[in-house]
Each structure stands twice: as C-alpha cells, then as structure tokens.
Amino acid sequence: MAAPTAAAQQRHVICMKWGTKYGPEYVNRLYAMVRRNLTGDFHFVCLTDDSTGIRQEVHCLPIPDLDLNLAPGERDGAWQKLTTFEADLHGLRGTALFMDLDVVVVGSLDGFFEQPGSFRIIRDYVRPWQFGRITGNSSIYRFELGAHADLLDYFRTHINEVRSQFRNEQAYLSHRLHSQGKLQYWPQAWCPSFKYSCIPAWPSNYWCEPIVPADARVVIFHGECNPPDALAGRRNKRFRHMEPARWIARYWNE
C-alpha cells in the first residue's frame, strides 16, 4: 500500500495480528467498520507477521521485536501490544487509536479522537467498583505516537520483574500511566462488554436475543466468548445460555 497522505497522517487506527488465532477477515471487517463510523481522513495500520489476504486499504507493517524469551508452550498473552509505544513506530506521527480485532463497531468513532487527555482506555469490567482498582481494558486505547516510549523501554529492561508483578500488558500500562497522572477512561457507555452488558439476565437469556446497549459505540468481547460464538449462539449451558446475536452480521458487513 502507498504511504499515507499528509492529511491522513494525523489520525491513525492501529490493530495487530500475529499468530493464527485471527485470520485476515478480522482485519478487513475492522477496517470496514471503522470506515463507516469515522468521519474524515485516517490512516489504518495493521502491525502483523503475515499480511496475506488483508485488503489493500490497510497499511501492513511489521510488529516491532519485543523479545519475550518465552518458554516452550508459554503463551505471550497480549504483551506484544506494548510495541505500539515505540519512540518511533515506523515513522508514524500523530494520534493513534488502537483497536482489538475482535471488537464490533456499532456507532460513531469520532469521539474517540475528540476526548481530551494524553491516554485513554476502557475501564476494566472485572470488579470496577473495587477501591483503588485502576486497571484498564486495552481493547481500545488512544495515545500520541512516541509519547509513552518510557513505558516500553522500562518493560524491555525489566521484563522479568514486570511479568512477575503484572498479569498482563493492560495491568502494567494502566498502573504505570496512572502513576504519571496520565490515565483516563472512556465514557462508560461507549464500550460495553458483550459478556456483562449485552446478554439478557437469566432466565430471559433463553428466549431474548443479546442487545446493543444504548449509547454503545464499540462492543467489546473478552473471556471465552468471541463474535463468531455470539453470532451463532450458545445452547444448553445452564445460566450461560445465549441466543444468537444476529446484529453482529449486519455490523460485520465488509
């Protein structure tokens, strides 16, 4: 793909695809959803180890090396996301909105570039009421490219210490940015959890389709349920039964 225009360089939407869990169709769907819901010019980037099958509107770039030194069979979790904080990420400049591949965009994304603050993230859905709990959910976060390189530099020089102290990358980046007074959250209604906010309460989950909550802009999938599962529905699981969320197919249209 050709280099982005000067106008598009100011706003970037970044996703990341590595390994085999997600195919190119996830990148292609995400681009289509962003294009329908973000006003004006933007530059769409996929950091990836395999660009096969990805549509031409997407600018594919290599994932910077993180050198996790994983033991055989050990999962890398989402630590790779920290490479978005490179001091120089392939020469990109401006504001970046990172989005996971398995989100479903259901409303306008304009506000994600308009909210003030140097760093914004989803407030995590697990025990958000717990006193002092600050962890964000990194399915969607926004930052200025190159502005938080210290976060990645510290990780690279203290990798064992960080991984022993924090369960995943979102806990680490949340606590580090909070200590610097830079951590802010998206409005709560914008990024509902499919698991907690869309599936009707028992027993109505046995006959009512999952909903798109009012004021939702991006539905977030975390835990064991992903969009294909939600689209198909999940039957015969006591208290966790889920009717098909047929609206996903409409938003997934490429």
Which pLDDT tens digit goes with each residue over 217-234?
999 998 778 999 999 997
> Maximum distance among all alpha carbons in the chain?
54
User: The dihedral of CA 199, 202, 208, 214: what is its sign?
Assistant: negative
Which of 190, 214, 236 is where one domain is finished? 190
Which of 155, 174, 190 is where one domain is finished? 190
Which of 190, 206, 225 is where one domain is finished? 190
Task: Note the pTM of the prediction, 2 decimals.
Answer: 0.92
Domain, as residue range, for 160: 8-190
Q: What is the CATH number of the domain that holds 186?
A: 3.90.550.10
Task: Say yes or no: 172 and 208 in one domain.
Answer: no
**Per-residue pLDDT, 67:** 77
State how many domains the chain has: 2
| Three-state SS sequence of 52-117 | CCCCCCCEEECCCCCCCCCCCCCCCCCHHHHHHHCCCCCCCCCEEEEECCCCEECCCCHHHHHCCC
Task: Say yes or no: 144 and 199 in one domain.
Answer: no
Count of C-beta atoms within a 10 Å radius of residue 33: 21
**Which of the residues in the chain have pLDDT under 50?**
2, 7-8
Task: Say yes or no: 54 and 152 in one domain.
Answer: yes
Task: Say yes or no: 174 and 128 in one domain.
Answer: yes
Task: Say yes or no: 65 and 186 in one domain.
Answer: yes
Task: Say yes or no: 80 and 121 in one domain.
Answer: yes
**Per-residue pLDDT, 132:** 65
Whether 55 and 28 have beta carbons less than 8 Å apart is answered as yes
Q: H or E segment at 17?
A: strand 11-17
Task: Say yes or no: 150 and 231 in one domain.
Answer: no
| pLDDT single digits (tens) 88-135 | 999 999 999 999 999 999 999 999 999 999 999 999 887 655 556 799
CA triple 243-16-121, angle to 5 deg: 75
